[in-house]
């Protein structure tokens, strides 16, 4: 039986509701926003000049506190991979709560083993040994610790423009100033150039890969002791603005880091689980097997799960005691197992390829219609729109991207934003989005573009 979530109405019925937030919603949102500022850290910072307060979700549709409905093309930052409140995932979590809610990692639970087995079944190559935590941040921390223990080394080579998390270590692996914690750096983290073809100083031809690989070698030889523990990269840099590397980049980067005795670590937190189309993980498109891989977000459709998976002999290096109180907890493992089950039954890899092609065609049409769209890029259902002041100069236009975010909200459409200058629109809906829902999303985005044109 299919677990594809459908909205309670058709996309065409929803289209009639795309008229912007109601005055009542604005008033109620302001009340909630004021309360949030009283009780939460200021970094808990919502989108929009008038923040959006959500109360219900179903499939790719979200409803705010006053009943206004939105088409969601951002999926909680590419996280509700099989749709908001997917019935199979909800039922699995509910049933688990009635049996066993929490024990900690000090005990063996069947659910954690089943989740790890499910992950091993789809992970590339010999990756089969996992540890579970609560988030992508913790998954990255686990991967770095594993690499350091296995190699007996300390230094990590990451990429500029990357985003790795909000802990002290991962915020300094992150190479965007606004996302780094203040204060001194973290010892042993260096950054090579991001393989950002649109802004490559040598153009986007075959010579670009040589340029980026030469830079990686130079960084290792000039800013490390020459014995790095690992190279760490997102397959597609999401927060950076959906940056897709040139075709041969990862194969050659893996060869470089291994030639220096380090491990090749790939971050699939956003690109994993079929999102890039046709493959389970983004790195598989380039035919490269990582030594360690990290994931989170879409792995459990919004339940807190981070996972680090590696080869058994690498995992064996971590013999000392460690614990994650909530990592691998029964409820999250049940949600993960159910989410992967839905993904397999619904063949999300093929769906992401099909709907991704539909989305890409719509975005390319918008580029032809609007001179301030410099580039459309991405893979499958992970797409970005780079906004520029003009295509010749390519100056990033963060102000226009902010205006488009607001205009899309007026059209009852939710999209994301990224890029070093906040100038890239990010789109990554549920992998179960229908053809009609995607068509409606493209229509609303086109309407939002017209609102800010000029």
Kindly report the CATH number assigned to the domain that includes residue 131: 3.40.640.10
**Residue 369 resides in a domain:** yes
Same domain, 73 and 135: no
The count of structural domains within the chain is: 2
Q: Contact at 8 Å (CB) between 156 and 229?
A: yes
Whose CA is closest to 164, among 154, 156, 173? Answer: 173
CATH value at residue 45: 3.90.1150.10
- Of 319, 345, 371, the last residue of a domain is 345
**Residue 4 resides in a domain:** no
Same domain, 250 and 372: no
- Of 345, 363, 382, the last residue of a domain is 345
From first to last of the 454 residues of the chain, give the pLDDT tens digit.
334 343 334 454 565 455 555 555 457 888 888 899 899 999 999 999 999 999 999 999 999 998 999 999 999 999 999 999 999 999 999 999 999 999 998 999 999 999 999 999 999 999 999 999 999 999 999 999 999 999 999 999 999 999 999 999 999 999 999 998 887 778 999 999 999 999 999 999 999 999 999 999 999 999 999 999 999 999 999 999 999 999 999 999 999 999 999 999 999 999 999 999 999 999 999 999 999 999 999 999 999 999 999 999 999 999 999 999 999 999 999 999 999 999 999 999 999 999 999 999 999 999 999 999 999 999 999 999 999 999 999 999 999 999 999 999 999 999 999 999 999 999 999 999 999 999 999 999 999 999 999 6
Number of residues that make up the chain: 454
Query: What range defines the domain where residue 412 resides?
Result: 11-82+348-452
Q: Contact at 8 Å (CB) between 175 and 158?
A: yes
Same domain, 395 and 324: no
Same domain, 136 and 240: yes
Same domain, 341 and 352: no
Same domain, 323 and 194: yes
| Burial class of residue 126, CB neighbours in 10 A (0-12, 13-18, 19+) | middle
Q: How far apart are the first and last CA of the chain?
A: 49
Residue 127: CB atoms within 10 Å: 24
Same domain, 144 and 127: yes
- Of 306, 324, 345, the last residue of a domain is 345
Question: How is residue 4 written in tokens?
Answer: 């594809």
**Residue 2 resides in a domain:** no
Handedness of CA 75, 80, 82, 85 (dihedral sign): negative
Same domain, 73 and 104: no
Give dist(CA 298, CA 80) in Å, integer: 6
Same domain, 78 and 107: no
Same domain, 184 and 242: yes
DSSP H stretches of helix in 127-279 = 136-151, 168-173, 207-223, 249-259
Same domain, 53 and 123: no
E runs forming strands in 236-336? 263-267, 292-295, 306-310
């Amino acid at each position: 039986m299919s677990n594809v979530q459908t909205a309670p109405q058709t996309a065409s019925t929803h289209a009639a509701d795309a008229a912007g937030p109601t005055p009542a919603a604005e008033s109620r949102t302001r009340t909630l926003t004021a309360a949030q500022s009283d009780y939460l850290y200021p970094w808990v910072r919502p989108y929009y000049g008038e923040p959006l307060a959500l109360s219900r979700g179903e499939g790719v549709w979200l409803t705010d506190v006053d009943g206004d409905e939105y088409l969601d093309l951002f999926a909680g930052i590419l996280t509700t991979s099989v749709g908001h409140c997917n019935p199979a995932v909800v039922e699995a979590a509910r049933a688990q709560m009635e049996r066993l809610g929490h024990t900690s990692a000090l005990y063996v639970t069947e659910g954690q083993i089943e989740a790890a087995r499910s992950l091993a079944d789809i992970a590339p190559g010999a990756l089969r040994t996992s540890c579970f935590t609560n988030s992508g941040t913790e998954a990255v921390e686990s991967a770095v610790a594993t690499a350091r223990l296995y190699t007996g080394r300390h230094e990590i080579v990451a990429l500029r423009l990357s985003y790795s998390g909000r802990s002290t270590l991962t915020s300094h692996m992150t190479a965007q100033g606004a996302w780094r914690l203040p204060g001194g750096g973290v010892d042993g983290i260096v950054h090579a150039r991001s393989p950002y073809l649109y802004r490559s100083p040598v153009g986007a031809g075959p010579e670009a890969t040589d340029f980026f690989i030469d830079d990686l070698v130079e960084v290792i030889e000039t800013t490390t002791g020459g014995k790095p523990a690992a190279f760490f990269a997102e397959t597609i840099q999401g927060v950076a603005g959906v940056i897709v590397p040139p075709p041969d980049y990862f194969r050659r980067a893996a060869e470089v880091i291994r030639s220096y005795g380090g491990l090749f670590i790939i971050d699939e937190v956003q690109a994993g689980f079929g999102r890039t189309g046709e493959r389970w993980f983004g790195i598989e498109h380039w035919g490269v097997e990582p030594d360690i891989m990290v994931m989170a977000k879409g792995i459990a459709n919004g339940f807190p799960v981070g996972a680090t998976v590696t080869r058994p002999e690498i995992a064996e290096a971590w013999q000392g005691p460690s614990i994650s109180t909530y990592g691998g907890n029964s409820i999250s493992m049940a949600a993960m197992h159910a989410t992967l089950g839905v993904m397999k039954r619904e063949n999300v890899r093929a769906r992401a390829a099909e709907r991704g092609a539909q989305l890409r065609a719509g975005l390319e049409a918008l580029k032809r219609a609007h001179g301030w769209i410099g580039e459309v890029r991405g893979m499958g259902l992970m797409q970005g729109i780079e906004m520029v002041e003009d295509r010749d100069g390519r100056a990033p236009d963060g102000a226009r991207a902010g205006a488009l975010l607001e205009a899309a909200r007026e059209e009852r459409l939710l999209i994301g934003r990224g890029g070093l200058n906040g100038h890239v629109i990010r789109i990554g809906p549920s992998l179960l989005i229908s053809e009609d829902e995607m068509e409606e999303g493209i229509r609303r985005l086109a309407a939002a573009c017209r609102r800010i044109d000029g």
